[in-house]
Amino acid sequence: MSTITLFTPGPTHIPDSVFAAMARGNEHHRTSEFRSVFLETAELLREPFNSQTQPLFLSCSGSGAMEAAILNCMSPGDVLGFLDAGKFGERWGEIAAAYKIASTPLKCEWGKSPSISDVKNFFSQNPSITHFALQYCETSTAILHDAPAIIHFIRSTYPDVFIILDAISAATTLPIDLSVLKVDALVLASQKAFMLPPGLSMIFCSERYWERADAIQTPSLYFDLTIERKSQIKGDSAWTPTLHLILGLQHVLQLFQKEGWTNVYERHFQCSEFCHAEFERLGIPAVTNSHRPTSLSGGFSPVSYEDADVLRSKMYRSSGIRIAGGQDAWKGKVLRVGHMGIISPTDLKQCFIALEEAMRK
């Protein structure tokens, strides 16, 4: 029987071996030993993304990395276009507003994803856009956008536009090859499929991005990535790093490497397939049948329950198993089941047994 009780789309279940790896963090970061760990972990992270550049580690949540990605390549006169299809898509606009950056949203109904025709019309109507930001997976609505197709269209039609991709809830659950995708910044975070507590984010930047970052004045000290890069190339960090999370990340990447990245992606796909089959069996309408993420699955509250949060609460009280609900306009209407990290269909079976029992009470 599975012992996993946390099936939320972040934070996610943390295996005991990851806790043990993080417990090694009782050391100092300005040592040759930790510099070695730092550089090895950065190299391990490059492998699944086929990156030609070294990632940066930032001591913040994913939203901090989103903010840093924007601040280091935008200057007065630039215009940010962004995909607004959920809670996290909205955040691009909030970041832009906080720094008085001009922005224009490509709005999409929650639970939907834009077509290439939508993207084409958006750019035709907004010729001043210099940067475009989007989520690969919109966690709040459990929707996987066709990021590769969107990015290919922008890159081939508007080659000067900088592209920032939030892959926080997609990374390691499906292949992301930066040599093919060719985004300017890729944002990741620790508390999703990397099976770590929140507090560490990672960002890959293209050479073009670095050229731009070196040429402009970033309106932040802590989030000035050019300062951070100079240190991290040598295995140091400009500011105090999250030692225990980097040690944990090193271990997680070794686990995935041992499993084999193709197997990791396939396991996540099988989890998605299992969840949607269980939704259908239990009469839970899926949020989508055409844009399913491999990291989480979403379903609308069954007809017999007006409030999905009441059902989630009942499930937790009776089994100790926790799943997520909806946010904002979807609060009380949606169930979200996370299946990132080491979770398998066998683990999910226990989760759905608990959900089915709660539905009967």
Instruction: Tell me what pLDDT residue 201 has.
Output: 99
What percent of the chain lies above the pLDDT cut of 70?
A: 99
CB of 11 within 8 A of CB of 198? yes
Span 161-173, mean pLDDT? 99
CA distance 19 to 287: 34
pLDDT of 159 above 60: yes
> Per-residue pLDDT averaged across 303-322, rounded?
92
Q: Which residues contact 115 (CB under 8 A, 6 or more apart)?
A: none
* Token pair 């399913």 in the structure block, residue: 292
- Structure token pair of residue 12: 């996610």
Q: What does the longest C-alpha to C-alpha distance in the chain come to? A: 62
Q: Which residue has the tokens 């935008």?
A: 74
> To which H or E segment does residue 352 belong?
helix 345-360
Q: Is the pLDDT of residue 303 over 90?
A: no
Q: Among 3.40.50.261, 3.40.50.620, 3.40.640.10, 1.10.8.10, name the CATH number for the domain at 16-257.
A: 3.40.640.10
pLDDT value at residue 15? 98
Token pair for 17:
């071996």
Split at pLDDT 50, 70, 90, the class of 286 is: very high
What angle do the packed helices 345-360 and 308-319 form, to 10 degrees? 110
Residues whose CB is less than 8 angstroms from the CB of residue 291 and which lie 6 or more positions away in sequence, other chains included: 113, 143, 144, 145, 146
Q: What is the DSSP string of 175-235?
A: ---HHHH--SEEEEETTSTT---SS-EEEEE-HHHHHHHHHS--S-STT-HHHHHHHHTTT
Task: Report how far apart, in Å, the C-alpha atoms of 42 and of each of 29, 156, 212 are.
Answer: 15, 30, 23
Predicted pLDDT of residue 31: 85
Question: Each residue of 56-111: pLDDT tens digit?
Answer: 999 999 999 999 999 999 999 999 999 999 999 999 999 999 999 999 999 999 99
Cα distances (angstroms) measured from residue 39 to each of 233, 234, 244: 8, 8, 15
Residue 10, CA atoms < 13 Å, CB-side half-sphere: 22
Q: Average pLDDT, whole number, for the chain?
A: 97
> Which has more confidence, 256 or 306?
256
CB 271 within 8 A of CB 339: yes
- Pair type for strands 6-7 and 79-84: unpaired
Please indicate, yes or no, whether the overall pTM of this predicted structure exceeds 0.85.
yes
C-alpha separations of 327 from 87, 139, 311 in Å: 8, 10, 15
> Alpha carbon of 201 to those of 138, 167, 311, 336: distances in Å?
17, 11, 33, 23
Whole-angstrom distance, CA of residue 359 vs CA of residue 71: 47
Mean pLDDT calculated for residue range 44-49: 98
Dig out the tokens for 42 from the structure.
């950065």
Q: List pLDDT tens digits, range 102-142.
A: 999 999 999 999 999 999 999 999 999 999 999 999 999 99
Distance CA 258, CA 19 (A): 18
For the cut 90, the answer to whether the pLDDT of residue 245 exceeds it is yes
Q: Which CATH superfamily is domain 6-12+260-360 in?
A: Aspartate Aminotransferase, domain 1 (3.90.1150.10)
Backbone angles phi, psi at 178, to 5 degrees: -70, -20
Distance CA 146, CA 242 (A): 33
pLDDT score, position 84: 99
Which pair of structure tokens corresponds to residue 197? 């507590």
pLDDT, tens digit, 9 for 90 and up, residues 192-241 = 999 999 999 999 999 999 999 999 999 999 999 999 999 999 999 999 99
Residue-wise pLDDT tens digits, 1-41 = 578 999 999 999 999 999 999 998 777 888 889 999 999 99
Contact between residue 55 and residue 46 where contact means Cβ atoms under 8 Å apart: yes
β-partners of residue 188 are 202
Alpha carbon of residue 180 to chain centroid: 19
d(CA 206, CA 12): 29
Which CA distances in Å does 217 have to 28, 123, 210, 212, 214?
A: 32, 27, 13, 10, 8
Residue % of the chain over a pLDDT of 90: 94
Q: Which segments of the chain belong to CATH 3.40.640.10?
A: 16-257
Report how far residue 192's alpha carbon sits from residue 340's, in angstroms, rounded to the nearest whole number. 7
pLDDT of residue 1: 57
